[in-house]
Structure 1
Amino acid sequence: MIRAMIVDDDALVRLGLADLLDGDPDIEVTAQASDGLQAIEQATAHRIDVALVDVRMPRMDGITATTRLRALPHPPRVITLTTFDLDEYVYNALAAGADGFLLKDTDPTEILRAVHLVATGSAMLHPAAARRVIDRYHATDHPRAAAAQNRLERLTPRERDVLTLLAQGDTNADIATRLAMRESTVKAHVSRILATLDVTNRVQAALLARDAGLTL
């Protein structure tokens, strides 16, 4: 059972998401919060697997909340919810440790899929929004590109292959098929990549790869 938390200052949004998630037999809405401070309190009181976190909220916004949630002893994975006009906030949320983000008008089946994917350690980024964020805030001539390239030099050639596909949004199963590997081997490679690059999740590894110009 995936224990989920919904964090949004709009009561109707919380109600709609709760109805959606509770309709999935493998997801339980364990907690709800109307702002970042309540989210920290709820995540401290309950063991949360996946938190869906709005970006703009009173008292503590979703970016700060993501940083605080990821710093907990048992950190939940975070999916940031946003509108298409908040790209800079979304990028900052990903940099803070979010495992992905969705637009609020995302199809309900995709929201459920995102919760399941993120709960297993994968990432879920809305393709159009991800492309827009990366194009605007992660150009390869950014000053951090050289530093990112140096960090990628620590990887083996096979790990770079895995990272390239990971950065394109492929799941472990997709990578295993494309590289003719066992899925368990891919998982082991991903774990080593995260440790070697000193990042907390797949999204941060993907952004680092794009910083270095490994993918477009």
Structure 2
Amino acid sequence: MTVKVLIIEDNPVARSFLCRVVRESFSDAMEITEVGDLENARRQVAKLSGGNPEISFKLILVDLELPDGNGMEFLTELAGSPAIKIVTTLYSDDDHLFPALQCGADGYLLKEDRFEVLVEELQRIVRGQPPLSPAIARRLLSHFRPSQSDSGTMPLNSGFGTLSSSHAPFSNSRSVALDPPPEWERLTPRESEVLTYLSKGFTIKEIANLMGIKWFTVNDHIKSIYKKLNVSSRAEAAVLASKQGLV
């Protein structure tokens, strides 16, 4: 099955560069749609999905500064989309980074990074990790270090909680319910199977191989699991899975 990718970038050279990065990053067959502004991005999303999330874009790369608006607007509009949404930008400052994460970005990459670095960071998705440029990862660590020294924990609402990574930091400041939430019964058999593997420490790629499905599909299942169980990390999901005897 071909994976559909949307790249939103107004600079033709940068757009071509990002296409090469995406094709080099994944072994799946890719169908890449390129647009240069928000209007065409919205049109492509509406045209493809037609209200059916099963045939929507699976990966979306969006620049923050576009001719007809800010990429954060688009991230907000895609809040309910199962797509993996990654910001690709030149801005590495807090004023752009944290609002983007709060708007729903699943990753944050700097276009100025070398080709090999961007490929490696995109491949982190398959390993169940958030795609973050090295400079961005360092900035996040630096930002939260004072909080860690004050309380000994890293708050989940710090921005990492919005990422799709199965390794999001787990903080004791957020209590895990002792009893499974009512939504537990709504997990599909497939989601329960994914949760079992996830709780045992398997990566997204390993789960995909075990279940015979695409890693994009596994990521969709994980997002649904987190939403239904009202958790933000693998650790929290594992606690509930353990209580139910799945692991």
Q: Please give the TM-score of this superposition, normalised by the length of structure 2.
A: 0.55
Unmatched segments (≥5 aa) in structure 2: 49-55, 159-170, 179-197, 208-218, 237-247
* 1:2 positional shift: 2.8
Alignment match, 1:152: 174
State the number of aligned residues.
175
Q: Trace 1:179-198 onto structure 2 (pairs within 5 A).
A: 181-183=200-202, 195-197=228-230
Aligned-residue identity in percent: 22
Give CA deviations for 1:103-134 in whole Å, capped at 9, x if unaligned: 11223234334444436864211233133145
Flag the 1:120–1:63 CA change in 2: closer, same or farther, 3 A.
farther
Flag the 1:197–1:43 CA change in 2: closer, same or farther, 3 A.
same
| Partner AA of 2:100 in structure 1 | A
Alignment match, 1:45: 47
| Partner AA of 1:35 in structure 2 | D
Alignment match, 1:31: 33
Unmatched segments (≥5 aa) in structure 1: 157-175, 206-216
- Rg comparison, structure with higher value: 2
1:11 and 2:12 aligned: yes
| Partner AA of 2:15 in structure 1 | R
Displaced runs of 4 or more, over 6 A: 146-151, 187-191
CA RMSD of the aligned region, Å?
4.0
SS at match of 1:152: coil
* 1:195 positional shift: 4.3
| Contact 1:21–1:27 (8 Å) recurs in 2 | no
SS at match of 2:125: helix
The CA distance in 1 between the partners of 2:70 and 2:145, in whole Å, is 23
Q: Please give the TM-score of this superposition, normalised by the length of structure 1.
A: 0.61
| Partner AA of 1:17 in structure 2 | L
Alignment match, 2:102: 95
